[in-house]
Structure 1
């Protein structure tokens, strides 16, 4: 079984010399044997073909996912647990570790082993899948780890654009011409945009983590309902205000927000291993009050989201493979135009209590790569607690400013939830 990488996947893959890795960490209370972990990993590999895949290049240097009958298992790296924050140190190590994708799967497992509590990490190349897919195979891993004979099914994998875009659109002459025209114009425009000769020096990468407890998380959700805005819009407004307060005139007043393609393309199932995403940009009007701004931002988000068309977007991108180098150069060398990427994975639908162990927490994924501004904030909610991972690089956002932004985010949320208490 094999398939060519899509345009977006090729962008994320790069030339193999720089990592673009996602790490999702979780904490289990219980005791485990390596054989049990190996078995659970083998079962999720058995379900998902692309977790067994290596990447090979053909004679035209086009990369392919390829699955053979004999495939290497998911590697396990074990370290002894010394403290609560070991998972952060191991996450940073994984960001920097290349995948030898011609020899090993695009997924690694790290076991930070303790006597009663273990932290575990899935580390994967971003070209393999997104956070939604990772949560799916995390759930399956935990299911098998708790109950080895559990049935998790077999994925019917996506084998190309034809498995996502309906045939009626993919073969429509007008739609094909439209996609090709947009792709050509975009490719020409990208080649004409001036970029620097050198990429920004990232310097040291960092991870800042925090949580809202159950009470604060519950109040935040209730507040958003009362304001008739989504949690995502509220947090975008908070993040934009925090960047404005800390960076002043140097703030861009823009955050990029990934939008799950599964909302629009029902051909892509929850457990599909797939990396393609959509994006909108959110800005704030700092001349009006926070609450007034929320409603305007919500209207803007809904308007921009309604205009997203995953099918045409994929067709346009697939017509632009010859512009890959120009697009990659633009992303790497172009000037940053947004403050950060903000991703809200929402409520994670994974059980907290199992027969053999307890899933104490899931830390929001962290991701870092070589394509421009690395500043990224990811949030998710598990077992009633909202969790934040804030990733950045000194060359784009100094660590001291990132800490100040975190403090502003926390303070702004508290002010909106309980304005009397901070007077």
Structure 2
């Protein structure tokens, strides 16, 4: 089985010399045997073909996912657990470690082994799948780790754009011409945008992690519900306000927010291994109260989300493979135009109590790559607690400013929750 990488996947893959890795960390309470972990990994590989895939190149040097005749297991690295924050240090190591994807799968596993508590990391190349896919196979891994006889099914993998875009749209002459025209227009525009001679020097990468306790998380959700705004929009507004207060004129007043394509393309199932995403960009409004600003931003979210069209977007991108190098160069060497990317995974629908172990926590994933500004905030909620992973690089956002932005965000959360109580 094989399929050619889509435009977005090729962009994330790059040339193999620079890692673009996502890390999914979680903490389990219990005791484990290495062979049981290996068996659970084997079972999720058996379900998902692309977790067994390598990257091969055709005679035009186009990359393909290809499953070898003899499947290779997910590599496992074991380290001794010494402290609560070991998972953060191991995450940073894994960001920097490239995948030898022509010889090994695009996923690996780290077991930070303790006597009664273990931290574990799934590490995957971002071209392989998004956060939704990662949460799906994490759920399956926990199922079969607890009960090897559990039936997690078999994925019918996506084999190309034809499995996502309905045939009536994909083969519609008008839609094909529209996609090609937009693609050519975008390719021409990209060539004309000036870029620097070299990419910004990232310098040291960092991870800042924190949680909101269950009570504060519940109060924040109640605040958002009472004001008819989503937690995602509230946190986006808090991020933008924090950047403005800390960075002043250096702030761009723009935050990029991924939107799950599964909301618009039902062909992509929750457990599909797939990496294509949609995006909206949000800005705050000056000279109004925080709550009025959030409400106005919520209107913008709904308006922009309604305009998203995953089918045409995919068709446009697939018409532009010849512009890939110019687009990648623009992302790497063009001037940064947004403050950060913010992704809220929402409530993680994974049980915490199993027969053989307990899931103490699932930390918010982290991801970092070479395509421009690395500043990324990911949030999620597990067992009622909101969890935040803030990733950045000194060359884009100094660590001291990132800490100040975190503090400003939490200050805003506290103030708004208190205003609801009043």
In structure 1, what is the equivalent of residue 373 of structure 2?
373
State yes or no: 1:408 paired with 2:408: yes
Contiguous gaps of at least 5 residues in structure 1: none
In structure 2, what is the equivalent of residue 283 of structure 1?
283
How far off its partner does 1:287 sit? Answer: 1.1
In structure 1, what is the equivalent of residue 128 of structure 2?
128
In structure 2, what is the equivalent of residue 87 of structure 1?
87
Q: Which runs of structure 2 are paired with 1:69-80 in the superposition (5 Å)?
A: 69-80=69-80
Q: Distance in 2 between matches of 1:68 and 1:197?
A: 40
In structure 2, what is the equivalent of residue 216 of structure 1?
216
- 1:316-364 CA distance string (max 9 Å, x none): 0000000000000000000000000000000000001000000000000
How far off its partner does 1:42 sit? Answer: 0.1
How far off its partner does 1:286 sit? Answer: 2.1
How far off its partner does 1:69 sit? Answer: 2.5
Q: Which runs of 4+ in 1 moved over 2 A?
A: 419-422
How far off its partner does 1:421 sit? Answer: 9.0
Q: Distance in 2 between matches of 1:349 and 1:67?
A: 30
In structure 1, what is the equivalent of residue 350 of structure 2?
350
- Alpha carbons 2:284, 2:293 under 8 Å: kept: yes
In structure 1, what is the equivalent of residue 157 of structure 2?
157
**Secondary structure in 1 aligned to 2:206?**
strand
Q: Distance in 2 between matches of 1:59 and 1:170?
A: 27
Q: Distance in 2 between matches of 1:69 and 1:59?
A: 21
Q: Which runs of structure 2 are paired with 1:21-420 in the superposition (5 Å)?
A: 21-419=21-419
How far off its partner does 1:413 sit? Answer: 0.2
- Alpha carbons 2:19, 2:99 under 8 Å: kept: yes
Q: Distance in 1 between matches of 2:76 and 2:60?
A: 34
Task: Provide the TM-score with structure 1 as the length reference.
Answer: 0.99
**Secondary structure in 2 aligned to 1:418?**
helix
Q: Distance in 2 between matches of 1:405 and 1:117?
A: 32
Q: Distance in 2 between matches of 1:2 and 1:136?
A: 22
Root-mean-square deviation over aligned CA pairs: 0.9
**Secondary structure in 2 aligned to 1:201?**
coil
Q: Distance in 1 between matches of 2:362 and 2:200?
A: 32
How far off its partner does 1:414 sit? Answer: 0.3
**Secondary structure in 2 aligned to 1:373?**
coil
How far off its partner does 1:420 sit? Answer: 8.9
Q: Distance in 1 between matches of 2:419 and 2:204?
A: 37
Q: Distance in 1 between matches of 2:370 and 2:24?
A: 19
- Alpha carbons 2:223, 2:420 under 8 Å: kept: no
How far off its partner does 1:68 sit? Answer: 2.2
Label 1:360 to 1:322 Cα distance change in 2 as closer, same or farther (>3 A). same
Q: Distance in 2 between matches of 1:263 and 1:116?
A: 39
Q: Distance in 1 between matches of 2:285 and 2:314?
A: 32
- 1:127-151 CA distance string (max 9 Å, x none): 0000100000000000000001000
How far off its partner does 1:294 sit? Answer: 1.1
Task: Provide the TM-score with structure 2 as the length reference.
Answer: 0.99
- 1:156-194 CA distance string (max 9 Å, x none): 000000000000000000000000000000000001100
- 1:96-122 CA distance string (max 9 Å, x none): 000000000000000000000000000
